[in-house]
Amino acid sequence: MPLFGSTFSPKKTPPRKCASFSNLQLLDRSTREIELGLEYGTPTMNLAGQSLKFENGQWVAESGSFTGDRREMQRLRKRNQQLEEENNLLRLKVDVLLDMLSETTAASRLMEKELEELKSHSRRRK
């Protein structure tokens, strides 16, 4: 029995319904862009005096904004192609070396097996 009267026990509140008052979720993307002005355009950036824009998953230089030397671009493309060819040649050499290593390893294991058989055969004779 409480000393100063009844204990305080508030009634439990009923759970609230979580309903959105906004009807924007019912609209499709194009309607929302028109209604709310969410059309931002393509992302662009300026990097070292060159303007780039993001199109189809790649950064592309905007036309007329390239200030670099065309000869330098050709030289870099040629160097890139040379490096790719060298990389392909080195990969081919690694593949050949791995084939040679596996062939040598197989021959070595075969010889070890034959040597063990000869040793066991000579032990039986003694």
* Domain assignment present for 57: yes
pTM above 0.75, yes or no: no
* Domain assignment present for 51: yes
* Domain assignment present for 9: no
Return d(Cα 51, Cα 64) in angstroms, integer.
9
Question: Quick check: 113 pLDDT over 80?
Answer: yes
* Domain assignment present for 52: yes
* Domain assignment present for 103: yes
Amino acid at the residue 40: Y
**What domain range is 69 assigned to?**
41-125
* Domain assignment present for 105: yes
Task: Give the helix/strand (H/E) hosting 44.
Answer: strand 44-47
Q: What per-residue string of b and e applies to 87-114 under the rule 16 or more CB within 10 Å gives b?
A: eeeeeeeeeeeeeeeeeeeeeeeeeeee
Mean pLDDT, range 55-82, rounded to an integer? 79
Total tally of structural domains belonging to the chain:
1
Mean pLDDT, range 94-105, rounded to an integer? 97
* Domain assignment present for 22: no
* Domain assignment present for 11: no
Question: Quick check: 66 pLDDT over 80?
Answer: no
